[in-house]
Structure 1
Amino acid sequence: EKDPLAREEGAKLVGASPDELCIISRVVQGLNMIKDTLGYNDPWKKGDNVVMTDQAYPSTGHTLLALKRHGVELRVIKHKNGRIMREDMEKAIDENTRIVIINRTSVGSGFTYDVKQVCEIAHEKNTYVLDDAVQTIGSKVVDLHDDNVDFMVTGSYKWQCGPPEAGFLYVKQSLCEELLPSFWSYINVDKGPGITGFDKFPFGVVDHDSVKSYDYPFPPTAQRFEPGTTATDEIWAWHASLKWLNELGKENIERRNITLGLYLSEELEGIGCTVKTPWDPEPDALNTHRHALTMYTTGSDELDRKTTAQLRGRPIKHVRGPTMKYQAGYGGVRVSPHFYNTEEEIDLFVAYLKKLLS
């Protein structure tokens, strides 16, 4: 079957067990599933709070707005020069914090969390951590077990080089056994050893009953959360890209991407641009080593927008053109080289930008 194969390759890529992954169709679906699952097992109430940052992708904040009707407080940590500081995270989390949601890599600046640190801070207050890792997996090494993260969501596209309309929700094994899903699907019931595929749908059995035939417990795996039938073509294509990335080696990919990101940054600074992506871990910030995703500015928002419009689709092959990204006042032009890009392609990009600036 396609789903077990995709889960097996995905588990290798993210440092997890296949039993801790379930197939979803998009990141925002996974965010909503965890929000609803927590509320199903322990209803959201006034006095609860959730923590996010102002560098989060819009789907995070919009999903959490649904909790306001329950009186839940939404706490937003503000960045400092594009960085999320450890002290601010520690202050935001208290004994009433139900969950902290982070984007492992910021969609704009490329700030990449040391997720292990975040989990240590949150777990001291018995708070869950949900990691949106769609901008990281496939570009940097991710090890969910080592990070000790509780939940993770990702899509099949972006740095994973797969098609849209697929993704993973990761649920830590202990939580798979503890939490009931808020979305119940008869496909996911556990009817015992050897009962798979069409054996789960006993329409051909004389004493078939639309209720009793499915009155079984859920399995003690993340598949209990799976929201029904998955997209066949997308999963097969994604499986191929996951297998390819694993064959290349995530450590090799990360090394190559760091090299490309540093090279791009140095070349941009060489023509007078300012790179806004954090370079290395900083003592008081919650970031780890840099990402290939690189944000820069010419020093003028108007010039950034003008040159970005002229650059799109021009020099760097096999990657989306530069885009303007702003989050809470911090932003500029984002460029995202991947391991298959070359220094020569970056040279073409920078040379063309230099020409536009002259």
Structure 2
Amino acid sequence: MARLRRTLRAWGARPRRPICSVNCRTGSGRARAGGRRLKMSPPAAMPPPTKTRAESSRRYEGESMSVQVEAGNPKLPEVRVNVATPTSPVVGKVVSTRPVTRGGRKSASFVRHVSFDVSGTPLAKSFRAGQSFGVLPPGTDSRGKPHKLRLYSLACPSTGDDGQGNVVATVCKRVLDEHWENHKLFIGVASNYICDLQEGDEALLTGPSGKRFILPENPSDHDYIFFATGTGIAPFRAMVLDLLNQRADARIVLIMGSPYTTDLLYDEEFTTWSKEHSNFRYLTAISREYVREEGASKIYVQERLNTNADELVPMLMNPRTLIYVCGIAGMEVGIIRQMAKLLPPEVFGQYVTVREGAGPIESLDRKEFGKVVHAGERLFLEVY
């Protein structure tokens, strides 16, 4: 924290609470963030940067401060949307499916990375990392109507699992629950349909969906902090691969939240990439168990802003930095509250806007929070 205080003094600021609160707007809607196996290895295709991690750290603590005025609000690229609609879907063929939990069969969850070949259809070469595609489950609901479309986030780079944009992928968790009122088993229609698919099976797909939850037009103009929980990791796997493949001159921090270590998704991949790329940092936040090797207590994603304040607060203070949040609804509340505690109002206000007279953020419940606190140009929310 001593280094953090010195950094803040150099900026002429000190951590304090803002005089008002904040608002969360998702931009483009998404029903569910999506989750792959393929005979290719993205990490092998990405040569590690020449900088050491120490050199990279010095560059962002010193040099980047001098060019901050050139950054600011991001310019988002034009993207293709709805080239395949629910009334005119395309057929995607499953080319791979694999489990992606760190604990494998020891995990309490069943989560799979599923890849679809869409070559020769309008969906081929149409996606950008951060967008989603729709899946139309077969059959009808209890009222005899066709099952509704479900949206799943792209979990592969913009160039697809195949590097050509012809194979798209998502991450999907089986939904198995119990009805509270009659204690009967509830089985998610779309999630179990997707996880049941075998190689060679076909599915009806739509998309792309989403215009705002994407990387800026010039990725090297910015640094990035990604917050994810559960299958909300999907768009960040895609974005991290895009940024590393493009060798973007950007600092990337990914914070992945999970109840248990065994439930972490793509953990081995992210760990490997963080070792190979000095500009990529991978942090986990385990909320229901103690992580002995880290000597840390149970924490949620927003608490990483505290435990790693010396690293993250200078990034937040820098106008280059963009924040992306994807996962369970409500996680954005804790993140924004923590930012309000750590950042001076003039910096905090660059990420969020708060309705005048709303009162202090910590006094707002989640329902009130959503009405008066809104994301600014440098904060991207996709919660569900």
**TM-score when normalising by structure 1:** 0.25
**TM-score when normalising by structure 2:** 0.23
Q: Which has the higher contact order (CA 8 A, sep 6+)?
A: 2
Greater helix share, 1 or 2?
A: 1
Greater strand share, 1 or 2?
A: 2
